[in-house]
């Protein structure tokens, strides 16, 4: 599929990608996500793609002009829901295309009470994506009744692969190579909650050395008081193949107290 290959090449460059998810506002407004345009404008030099919901895309003054690829997120839930793990489809592949998307993304919580419904929907969405030549990023998370470990993340990744995803986003686990080895498509490691920046960079580096194709980090970037600094360090790791200690040294030198 030429169209899909061309669009994937905008997101995954030479086998590597830095993706900035900023789809968190429906779950709950996070620090730093109040003005998506401001953050994207600041960091766009260092990212390959940004993930947003349709409303953000509709009202953005920056997304249309940025060099990074646009990924429209199709699923959502809120922190106030009876079951926040119950992700619902809130827009369509067709709408994403109308908004100029280079790809779409869907979040699936494996092990949640509504796992079956989520799996069914992403299976159908993957077919629509194939019809239009639009890449599908599947965010695969063990949630609900199962814990996050190498085996459950490996299984979640394989589910996304089997359902027809083109790129996978999964949580970091040790022995990340066991996750990558069950999928012959790009697998990017999730950034997770905001925490120690040095520990975050070490996790990303470890995943890259074990076969990850890049990183999809939102909160560790936009929650930061210096998102450009974090985005640049990720770019150094992912695209520059910079040694970890060099990146950590740069990160420390650029911290503004």
**CA dihedral in degrees (33, 6, 181, 108; nearest 10)?**
40
The per-residue pLDDT for 256 is 55
Q: How far is CA 178 from CA 17, 73, 159, 234, 255, in A?
A: 20, 27, 14, 23, 35
How many angstroms separate the CA atoms of 57 and 28, rounded?
A: 18
Give the chain's domains with CATH numbers.
2-254 (3.20.20.70)
Active site residue 169: yes
- Token pair for 118: 């989520």
Q: Are 239 and 15 in contact (CB under 8 A)?
A: no
Q: Is 82 a catalytic residue?
A: no
Among the options 46, 141, 161, 172, which is catalytic?
141
Tell me, yes or no, if 141 is annotated catalytic: yes
Sign of the alpha-carbon torsion through 139, 145, 150, 156: negative
Whether residue 168 contacts residue 186, with contact meaning beta carbons closer than 8 Å, is answered with: yes
Query: What pLDDT sits at residue 195?
Result: 80
- pLDDT tens, the chain, 257 aa long: 789 999 999 999 999 999 999 999 999 988 889 999 999 999 999 999 999 999 999 999 999 999 999 999 999 999 999 999 999 999 999 999 999 999 999 999 999 999 999 999 999 999 999 999 999 999 999 998 899 999 999 999 999 999 999 999 999 999 999 999 999 999 999 998 888 889 999 999 999 999 999 999 999 999 998 999 999 999 999 999 888 888 888 777 877 54
Which of 87, 169, 194, 232 is the catalytic position?
169
Helix (H), strand (E) at residue 4: helix 2-11
| Nearby residues of 111 by Cβ (< 8 Å), 6 or more positions away | 142, 143, 144, 145, 146, 152
Q: Is the dihedral of CA 163, 187, 34, 58 positive or negative?
A: negative
pLDDT for 242: 86
What's residue 246's pLDDT? 85
pLDDT of residue 157: 98
- The neighbour count for residue 218, using CB atoms within 10 Å, is 24
What's the CA gap between 70 and 192, in Å, rounded? 21
Record the pTM: 0.95
- Would you state the pLDDT for residue 245? 85
The single residue listed with the structure tokens 């990720």 is: 234
Q: Which residue, 101, 87, 112, 84, is CA-closest to 50?
A: 101
């Amino acid at each position: 599929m030429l169209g899909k290959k061309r669009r994937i090449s905008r997101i995954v460059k030479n086998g590597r990608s830095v993706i900035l998810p900023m789809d968190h506002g429906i779950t709950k407004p996070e620090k730093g996500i109040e003005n998506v345009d401001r953050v994207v404008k600041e960091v766009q030099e260092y990212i390959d793609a940004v993930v947003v919901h349709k409303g953000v895309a509709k009202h953005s003054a920056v997304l249309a002009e940025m060099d990074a690829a646009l990924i429209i997120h199709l699923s959502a839930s809120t922190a106030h829901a009876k079951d926040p793990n119950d992700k619902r489809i809130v827009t369509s592949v067709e709408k994403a295309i109308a908004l100029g998307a280079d790809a779409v993304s869907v979040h699936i919580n494996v092990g949640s009470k509504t796992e079956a419904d989520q799996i069914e929907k992403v299976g159908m969405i993957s077919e629509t994506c194939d019809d239009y030549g639009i890449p599908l990023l599947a965010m695969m998370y063990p949630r609900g009744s199962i814990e996050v470990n190498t085996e459950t993340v490996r299984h979640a990744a394989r589910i996304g692969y089997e359902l027809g995803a083109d790129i996978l986003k999964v949580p970091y686990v040790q022995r990340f190579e066991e996750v990558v080895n069950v999928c012959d498509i790009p697998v990017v490691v999730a950034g997770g909650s905001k925490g120690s920046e040095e520990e975050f960079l070490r996790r990303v580096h470890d995943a890259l050395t074990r076969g990850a194709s890049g990183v999809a980090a939102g909160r560790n970037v936009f929650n930061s008081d210096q998102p450009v600094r974090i985005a640049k360090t990720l770019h150094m790791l992912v695209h520059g193949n910079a040694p970890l200690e060099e990146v950590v040294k740069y990160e420390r030198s650029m911290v503004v107290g």
